[in-house]
Every structure is written in structure tokens, then in C-alpha cells.
């Protein structure tokens, strides 16, 4: 797999980041979109998070996929597996293995904003599945969905609970847009983290080793590198807050003192008062009936839903 095999929809990374930084850091409540965590360093930190003792979602979802991959292959008979936000595509191998064994799979289309993570994953999967047509797409799946290749029936896998990183209105729009690119009878395989006790949730987003804190601060390093900003990441505390009303974990970066940051690439000077925070991510947690209702509202029928033995994480298979 060479770089040329990656289809890229990212036109101007710096321009997109500039627009997001301008919108987010001039708002009354400062915020940044979570997709900017994932440069090479951020993607590597996220991979480390998935192995942390406190971060259960990856293991719980893997347990479900390991138990159900063969059933998913039989139910869907997929010829194409599309994976949105694929990252390292590690859990996807469970699906690829089952779909290959079932004999229907022709193509794998991983899509991710991180070119480095995607290049690694496509190379490794091409090597391990010699007959498979692997077509990586570098892009933002909230904007480039129309362009997904592959013959029907396709399964669009959106795993890891990444759907929780959307705000509710974005989530509804996203599910509708997935439904729109699929023909009737094609599939969505959706991984959703589930509501549980706040201690377990907050620990998962504030680990003892400080990996999640480094991941959170990495967004400031990305802005420094791309827009010539002078953020001191160490002047911001990592905060993971469970919002019981919204049922989401909110990650924040909280200024330890009054701070002035220059961001020349965005034409901004941003002032932080001591204790003021940037919201860097929401990670919504779901209830099984809520997921089914949201999928139904977008035009999907839930055909199966599974959880791990501890009921921490849900996987839904929905038909368009
Ligand atoms: C991208 C959805 C898998 O929200 O749990 C991990 C990202 N943020 N730790 C999540 C994340 C902090 C993650 N997902």
C-alpha cells in the first residue's frame, strides 16, 4: 500500500483548523472540535488509551464483536465493509475475518481524518488480506460521505462509540446522512458506549497514568504546530466531567491562571481567565431504547442489538 492509494478529501487542513479555532475560541463558552486531537501524536496517544485499565470501551466492544462477527456476516452478506473513523482498524479485523470466511467480502473502505493512522492500517490490512480491495479514504465523515465506494450490500461500521462525540443535533444529521448514502437493504453497525455509574465513566476519561490528559492537551500542540500559536499545554489542567443531565462526559482544558495566547495563523489573541476552560470533547453515553429510537428516526430498523457481559457497551446492527 502506498500513499497514492489513499483518496484524500482534505483540501486545506490549516484553513479548516483556522475556521474551527476562530469559531471555538471566540465563543462565550470556548470549545474546540475533537477531530483535531488526531495528528500522528494524538492518534498514537489514543491507541495507548485503548489499552489502559480504566478505558473499558475498546475491550467491551471487542468482546461483542468477537462473539457476533460471524452472525453479522451471515445476516448482512456484505460485499463491502466501510469503516468510519477507523483509526488503527484493529477491531475491524474481527469483522474482516468473519466476512472473509463467509465468502462475500470484496472490498474494505476505511475512512479517517488521520492520514498517518489510515496509511498504517491500510498497509497492514492489505498485507494480511491479499485478495481484498483496500481503499483508504482520508476525510471527514461528516462531509465526505457521498464519496464512499464499493458494491452493495455494504456494511458501514461506526465503532468505538465515536458517534458520542457529536452533539445531539449533529448526531441526528449524521445518521440521516448515512441513511441517505445507503440503498435499501444496506447496513449500519453502530457501537455506542452505555450510561453507567459516574465513577467508572470519569475514570475512563481521567486515567491514573495521565495518558488521556496528554491526549487532551495534544489539541493545543496541534494548534501551535499548524497555526503558529504559543499555547503552553502544561498551563491547562485536564478535566473529565460527567454531565448527568446531558448524559455525556465532557473533556475540558482549564487554565491554571490568567493566560494570553497568540494564534497568528488564525489572526487571534485569546485571553483566558484563571479557571476558565475550553470544552474539547463531549462523549455521549446511551441507553439501548434511545439508540433504537434515534436509528428509527433516521430511517433505520434495528435488526439486532448486543452488549458485553457487563453491559457496558452496545453494538447495534441496523438495516436501511
Ligand atoms: C473517539 C469515541 C473512541 O469518546 O471515548 C478517549 C475518544 N476521548 N478518551 C471516546 C476519547 C478520551 C473516544 N472515541
Q: Which atom of ligand 1 is nearest to the CA of 215?
A: 12
Note the pTM of the prediction, 2 decimals.
0.94
Find the mean pLDDT for residues 54-83: 97
CA 111 – ligand 1 centroid, Å: 17
What sign does the CA torsion over 243, 246, 252, 258 have?
negative
Find the mean pLDDT for residues 95-118: 91
Q: Which of 33, 36, 43, 46 to mutate to test the pocket of ligand 1 (most atoms within 8 A of CB)?
A: 46
Find the mean pLDDT for residues 16-39: 96
Per-residue pLDDT, 65: 97
At 198-242, the pLDDT tens digits run 999 999 999 999 999 999 999 999 999 999 999 999 999 999 999
> Would you say 277 and 235 are in contact if contact means Cβ atoms under 8 Å apart?
no
Average pLDDT, the chain: 93
Ligand 1 near 281 CB (within 6 A): yes
End-to-end CA distance of the chain: give it in Å, rounded. 32
Q: Are strands 187-193 and 313-319 parallel, antiparallel or unpaired?
A: antiparallel
Per-residue pLDDT, 85: 84
Give the span between the Cα atoms of 74 and 88, in whole angstroms: 25
Q: Over 60: is that where the pLDDT of 3 sits?
A: no
> Would you say 182 and 76 are in contact if contact means Cβ atoms under 8 Å apart?
no
Ligand 1 near 49 CB (within 6 A): yes
- As a whole-number percent, the residues of the chain with pLDDT over 90 amount to 83
Q: How confident is the model at residue 11 (pLDDT cuts 50, 70, 90)?
A: low
Annotated binding-site residue numbers for L-histidine: 55, 165, 205, 281-283
> Residue 20's CB: how many other CB atoms inside 10 A?
17
Amino acid at each position: 500500500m502506498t500513499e497514492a492509494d489513499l483518496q484524500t478529501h482534505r483540501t486545506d487542513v490549516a484553513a479548516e483548523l483556522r475556521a474551527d479555532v476562530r469559531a471555538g475560541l471566540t465563543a462565550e463558552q470556548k470549545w474546540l472540535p475533537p477531530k483535531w486531537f488526531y495528528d500522528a501524536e494524538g492518534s498514537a496517544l489514543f491507541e495507548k488509551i485503548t489499552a489502559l485499565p480504566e478505558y473499558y470501551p475498546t475491550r467491551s466492544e471487542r468482546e461483542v464483536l468477537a462473539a457476533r462477527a460471524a452472525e453479522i456476516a451471515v445476516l448482512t452478506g456484505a460485499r463491502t465493509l466501510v469503516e468510519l473513523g477507523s483509526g488503527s482498524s484493529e477491531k475491524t479485523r474481527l469483522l474482516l475475518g468473519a466476512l472473509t470466511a463467509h465468502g462475500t467480502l470484496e472490498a474494505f473502505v476505511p475512512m479517517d481524518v488521520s492520514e498517518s493512522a489510515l496509511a498504517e492500517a491500510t498497509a497492514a490490512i492489505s498485507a494480511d488480506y491479499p485478495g481484498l480491495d483496500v481503499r483508504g479514504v482520508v476525510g471527514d465523515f461528516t462531509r465526505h460521505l457521498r464519496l464512499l465506494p464499493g458494491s452493495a450490500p455494504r456494511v458501514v461500521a461506526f465503532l468505538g462509540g465515536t458517534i458520542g462525540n457529536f452533539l445531539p443535533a449533529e448526531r441526528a444529521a449524521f445518521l440521516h446522512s448515512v441513511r441517505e448514502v445507503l440503498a435499501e437493504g444496506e447496513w449500519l453497525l453502530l457501537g455506542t458506549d452505555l450510561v453507567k455509574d459516574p465513577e467508572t465513566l470519569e475514570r475512563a476519561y481521567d486515567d491514573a497514568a495521565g495518558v488521556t490528559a496528554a491526549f487532551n492537551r495534544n489539541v493545543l500542540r496541534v494548534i501551535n504546530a499548524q497555526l503558529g500559536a504559543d499555547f503552553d499545554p502544561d498551563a491547562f489542567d485536564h478535566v473529565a466531567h460527567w454531565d448527568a443531565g446531558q448524559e455525556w462526559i465532557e473533556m475540558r482544558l482549564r487554565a491554571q491562571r490568567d493566560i494570553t495566547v497568540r494564534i497568528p495563523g488564525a489572526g487571534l489573541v485569546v485571553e483566558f481567565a484563571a479557571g476558565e476552560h475550553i470544552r474539547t470533547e463531549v462523549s455521549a453515553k446511551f441507553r439501548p431504547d434511545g439508540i433504537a429510537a434515534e436509528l428509527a428516526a433516521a430511517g433505520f430498523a434495528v435488526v439486532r442489538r448486543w452488549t458485553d457481559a457487563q453491559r457496558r457497551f452496545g453494538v447495534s446492527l441496523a438495516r436501511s
